[in-house]
A and B are shown apart, each in its own frame.
Chain A
Amino acid sequence: MNIKRDISTNAISSFALSALFVLTLLSILLQHIPQKLSSAGDKLLEINAQEGVANAVTTVVVYFRGFDTLGEIAVLFIASFGIGLMLNFQVQNNQNKVKSNFMLQLGARLLFPIILLFGVYVMTYGHLSVGGGFQGGVIIASAVLLMLVSSNHFQLSHRIITLLETFAGVSYVLIGLIGLIVLDSFLGNFLPHSASQLGLLLSGGIVPIIYIIIGIKVGSEMSLIVQNMLQRSDND
């Protein structure tokens, strides 16, 4: 009885507190609804055609603000190994795992290459249409997830994942450093690129290459996160 009253007082006071905060916020925000103004994004759209990339968001993410994306990759990298460190991964014995039935295994095996193909498509066409390395990489990781859930013996090779991850991360920074040496600006677009290539698969200089590298990195890290999360042993 006493505990129940405590919980409800807590709920009421936090309700009142957050309502007060948000109402103050609203009273300011509603008076100053931002008007359309010429922003940095509009100027970027004007010069976007020079880069020869059809998807302006991709140019912004990978090239104009590419440094943020490098930082983002670093965040994912740290988080991924942090999770690996926490849920210290051991190859578990498959005894207490529920054996999945034949239809599930067959379906998963049929779907796996299709999802993989879709992920690679989203990754490589990131500079032409919606999508890119982040989304494609996560789609690939979801294919891995499907196999991990359904199959009893599927196991990612730790060595290959580490190799892919390292390759992707190192080559991202190296591309940036080549730009620094060639064009005197880190992550500069040193490969040939022009507006006339707009819409071609091979266009945009370093932009699609970097997005594919991001895809490899995100795909391998997400797969590791998924595997670590799924296979945390339950016994202790």
Chain B
Amino acid sequence: MIESILYYFNQTEVIKTIVTLGSMGLFFVGLFGLLSQRHIIKVFISIGIMEIAVFIFFIGLSFQRGLTAPMLGDAHTTFIQMNDPIPHAMILTAIVIGMAVLALGISFAIEYYKLTGKNRLDEMNEMKN
């Protein structure tokens, strides 16, 4: 019984369905947070959740069961039967860029708070109308 359940979940198709459902669930949570939360830290957390959801979606769907990580090791001496390295490289780039943008945004928010004492998006109304 348990073995058949485990076997069912190990099929590549089922794993891909799970990843799609799960990452989109995470994306939903991030989007909900972005629309409903107004505190600046919460907004950044929500954006981070959306980002991570897209990363998991991409890496998870490009993953093939039975293939190894794209690097040589003790057991693998040729570049065959390996996972696609391009998604890994892309997500690596995207993670670093996302962090840079987050740090910059937080530094804007800190300076803005020091000047005006506002830390919520709906309070920001320095402009007219």
Contact = CB atoms under 8 A, between A and B. Distances in A.
B36 A14 contact: yes
Interface stretch (A80-88, A148-156, A169-177): A80-88
A22 B85 contact: no
B35 A18 contact: yes
Interface in A1-53: 10-11, 14-15, 17-19, 21-22, 25-26, 29-30, 33-34, 36, 39-42, 44-46, 48-49
B64 interface: yes
Given A39-B84, A57-B71, A75-B100, A26 B89 contact: no
Contacts of B52: none
Interface in B58-95: 61, 64, 70-72, 78-80, 82, 84-90, 92-93
Contacts of A14: 32, 35-36
A22 B24 CA distance: 7
Contacts of A49: 78-79
Contact of A72 (B87, B97, B107): B97
Nearest to B57: A29
Nearest to B28: A22
Given A14-B35, A61-B92, A236 B84 contact: no
Contacts of B36: 10-11, 14-15
Contacts of A19: 28, 32
Contact of A86 (B90, B101, B108): B108
A184 to B, nearest CB: 24
B72 A33 contact: no
Interface residues of B, number: 42
B32 A225 contact: no
Contacts, number: 129
Interface string B10-30: 000100110011001101100
Contacts of A61: 89, 92-93
Given A56-B79, A61-B92, A198-B72, A33 B103 contact: no
A57 B88 contact: yes
Interface residues of A, number: 56
Contacts of B17: 30, 33
A231 interface: no
A18 B97 contact: no
A26 to B, nearest CB: 5
Interface string A58-81: 111100010011001001101110
Given A30-B21, A45-B82, A56-B70, 12 more contacts: A25-B27, A26-B20, A26-B21, A26-B24, A33-B20, A34-B16, A55-B71, A55-B72, A58-B71, A59-B85, A60-B86, A75-B97
5 contacts: A11-B36, A26-B20, A45-B82, A68-B89, A72-B93
Interface of A: 10-11, 14-15, 17-19, 21-22, 25-26, 29-30, 33-34, 36, 39-42, 44-46, 48-49, 54-61, 65, 68-69, 72, 75-76, 78-80, 82-83, 86-87, 129-130, 134, 198-199, 225, 228-229, 232, 236
